[in-house]
Amino acid sequence: MNYKQFLALQNRIEWLYEFHPDFFEQLTSKQRESLQIGVLYDVSDQDYPKSIEAYYNEIVSGDEELQKVMLNSAQALYDLSGSGLLSLDD
């Protein structure tokens, strides 16, 4: 996942959380944790990094397992919402 795809994923997760927070309750704890760590969903303002790009480079870009779980978690949310297949390559 490149940085542009990461931002797209983060945007989609934020939108889903804003409009369908109940869907997140249906995820496993591992799925929720991957989204909290990976795309910073439900993170307090004080814990939000000053640079999202630096965060991506330090935490997300080199962790293929985290990326895989994040994408699977996002697809699970898409499935719950009836949104079809997740695509980050718009």
**pLDDT per position as a tens digit, 42-83:** 888 888 899 999 999 999 999 999 999 999 999 999 999 999
**pLDDT computed for residue 43 by the predictor:** 83
Question: Cβ–Cβ contacts within 10 Å for residue 10, how many?
Answer: 20
pLDDT given for residue 66 in this prediction: 97
In a domain, 17, yes or no: yes
User: Looking at the domain assignment, is residue 87 inside a domain?
Assistant: no
How many distinct structural domains can be found in the chain?
1
Any domain includes 48: yes
In the chain, the amino acid numbered 20 is: H
Asked if residue 88 belongs to a domain, the reply is no
Please report whether residue 67 resides in a domain.
yes
Residue 90, SS3? coil
Enclosing domain of residue 71: 3-81
Query: What token pair was written down for 86?
Result: 């997740």
- Please, what's the b/e burial string for 50-75 (b: 16 or more CB within 10 A of its CB; e: otherwise)? eebeebbeeebbebeebbebbbebbe
Within-domain flag for 86: no
> Residue 90 falls within a domain, yes or no?
no
pLDDT reported for residue 89: 82
